[in-house]
Amino acid sequence: MEKFLIKGPTPKGVMGSINCSGAKNAALPLMAASILFEGTVVLKNLPLVNDVNTMIVLLEALGSKIELFKKKRVIKITNIKKHKLIVPYRLISTMRSGVLLMGSLLGKYNKCSSAMSGGCSLGVRAINFHIDGFKKLNCQYSLNKGYINLEAKNGLTGNRYKFPIVTVTGTSNLIMASVLAKGVTVLSNVSIEPEVIDLIKFLKTGGAKISFIGKRVIKINGVKKLNGCNHKIIGDRIEAFSYLCAGAITRGKIKVNKVNPKYLNTELKILKKIGCKLKIKKSSILLNAKSKLKPTKIKTGVWPSFATDNMPMLLAVLTKIKGKSEITETIFSNRFMASPELERMGASINLKNNKAKILGTEKLIGAECIASDLRTTFSLILGAMAAEKESYIARVFHGKRGYSNLVKNLKSIGVNIKSIS
């Protein structure tokens, strides 16, 4: 099994620039939504990561025709026949976003069966809110042998539904299920993450009638069909923040390109607060962390709050800032999976319930670590590049689910890293 060998510390800090990929968390819902369209959908700025590859296999298995142009980072998805309506376990078990196929298949065909999806081990990520929303649209539900069975025998019908909590995939699923439904659907307490807004923009380009009638309230007038269209995927804000943290933890200087800084407003304020100097332009961010950095307190939350996906990277940075820092996690129960591995490097992290108290140290020592999920992988890479001596990180396939050209990009900014078996 592949491992990363990283020799630290990175001398003089990381230096250079990174061109961010298209956002994985935007690409996957867009690809799932392609099922709703007639003809061909063209998605540009596609991230070449393993989760996207898995979604390609899923779509092909269901009946979509796929043309992938890797050099141009473009994918063409054509619907020329009726899709299969069963999403098999063997394909969905490794990726949480496979659950989004329920919304698109149900929206297009009023029926589907899907195995429960997999992905990162971040604790309970219940889909009961998705199911409750589908029921409101005149859909019947049953669970049999690990498969969720959904059917609207008389067709989906618009209705009102308020999410008990804000959910990104839940919002995306209900939007997809509603765009071709009869009548009007009003969804309240929806997610307004940039990736959800990108999905709405994509659907509207194809002819969907979606409008905000409140800050977290969406009105959807059902249409008869969506027409094929072209769409450019937004830049990956999580990837951008990950590399900015590489600059912060090594006291380096790094620039990330092809990302909208507005999607990282809260995170950039935190980086400034701890002492990083930033130069922000329309689609790039330059970070200089040569000054002394200060500890801080943060709390994760739904956008525009600090993103839970970005928390593990900041956790690593704070272990190297002298003083007491504190992180409160409000989204996922197991988001602190990086903590025990960072402690193997000498970090001081006290966990209690959903809160981490970090006593920063000037010195980390390389160690053997195991990555348990996508963002933990990058968190451990950050710790290793700032630590003295060698670190070995196992189960790095998690990282390749969401970071394109990971080793190549890290080498380009001065990290001593290589992939070993």
Active site members: 120
The partner residues of 50 in beta bridges, in order of sequence, read none
C-beta neighbour count of 72 within 10 angstroms: 10
Which tokens go with 393? 């990180």
CA nearest 372: which of 387, 350, 392, 394?
394
Cα angle, residue 247 at apex, residues 246 and 249 outer, rounded to 5°: 65
CA nearest 137: which of 222, 198, 206?
222
Integer angstrom CA distances of residue 367 from 135, 336, 341: 50, 18, 9
Which tokens go with 368? 């053997």
User: How many Å is the Cα radius of gyration of the chain?
Assistant: 22
The answer to whether the CB of 109 falls within 8 A of the CB of 83 is yes
Pairing relation of β-strands 389-394 and 368-370?
parallel
The enclosing H or E element of 318 equals helix 311-318
Which tokens go with 308? 């839970």
